[in-house]
Amino acid sequence: MTYPLIHKRVVRCYGFYDYLRDNKILQKEMTTLVFASNNAHKLDEIRSILGDRFMIKSLKEIGCDADIPETADSFRGNALLKARYVKEHFGYDCFADDSGLQVSYMDNLPGVYSARFAEKFAGQLGIDKDSLPEEKDKRNMECLLRSLNNNNAFAEGNSPKACFRTSIALIYEGGEYFFDGVVEGHIIADARGTSGFGYDPIFVPDGYDKTFAQLGNEVKNSISHRARAVSKLVEFLKK
């Protein structure tokens, strides 16, 4: 059966728009949004949550192979730098994320330096870089644990408080928006578990007695900083 083309605004006036759209009588509009990332896992996740109202493109798909500088001193700042870069150079509406671990005992380090913590801070913290493991995640974790140990942070069975934080910056229809997600917990002295990545083996979220690396992806993804920030973004975009 064919239907006459009805202007969306007219249809909306009569309150039928959602009905027509949901029943595939009106063609859905697709909005293109760039996610300033090439991380396949993050891209799949956001595409499956947003469904077919949004066409999500990666940096690669828009021909951007730049190493976008992340020189801000906050997660929001770095996310916004990436989103603005895409908007300015490629013209697309865009969102970008930045995440990391913050340990209160260390004035919120590793923070925005989470991915390159050992490289940047080992020397300052009095830790010999050559004595750290080769692999990046292990290197960063070991650097953090040694530094906490050197400062007696685990003395008398203490577990230093920490949180993972994600900020997403969105540039959309002329506005700039932020969505933050946090998961609180503590750091343990010995790594446990094998799933996940980064600092997962030494982070125990509040309400649990296992590390993210022991809890596995399903549990982690239901409570993680990233999941919390993404769900705020999705709620906003689906309005």
Catalytic residue annotation: 98
Asked if 199 interacts with ligand IMP (CB under 6 A), we say yes
Alpha-carbon distance of 220 to 33, in angstroms, equals 26
Residue nearest to ligand IMP (CB): 198
Pick the stretch among 126-134, 143-151, 193-201, 231-239 that binds ligand IMP (CB under 6 A): 193-201
The only residue of 14, 19, 197, 236 in contact with ligand IMP, by rule CB under 6 A: 197
The only residue of 115, 189, 219, 223 in contact with ligand IMP, by rule CB under 6 A: 115
The only residue of 64, 200, 204, 229 in contact with ligand IMP, by rule CB under 6 A: 200
Q: How far is the CB of 81 from ligand IMP (least distance, A)?
A: 12
Looking at the Cβ atoms of 185 and 196, the one nearer to ligand IMP is: 196
Render 117-160 in DSSP notation, one character per residue: HHHHHTTTTT--GGGS-SSHHHHHHHHHHHHHHHTTTTGGG---
- 8 Å CB contact between 105 and 153: yes
Render 4-41 in DSSP notation, one character per residue: ----HHHHHHTT-HHHHHHTTSSPPP-EEEEES---HH
The only residue of 86, 102, 114, 169 in contact with ligand IMP, by rule CB under 6 A: 114
Of residues 40-69, those binding ligand IMP (CB under 6 A):
none
Alpha-carbon distance of 132 to 44, in angstroms, equals 34
The only residue of 196, 202, 228, 237 in contact with ligand IMP, by rule CB under 6 A: 196
Asked if 181 interacts with ligand IMP (CB under 6 A), we say no
Q: Site size for ligand IMP, by CB under 6 A?
A: 15
Contacts from 112-118 at CB under 8 Å and sequence distance 24+?
112/70, 112/72, 112/73, 112/74, 112/75, 112/77, 112/78, 114/140, 114/198, 114/199, 115/140, 115/198, 116/140, 117/143, 117/144, 118/142, 118/143
Q: How far is the CB of 139 from ligand IMP (least distance, A)?
A: 10
Q: How far is the CB of 72 from ligand IMP (least distance, A)?
A: 12
Binding site for ligand IMP (CB under 6 A): 98-101, 114-115, 140, 164, 196-200, 212, 224
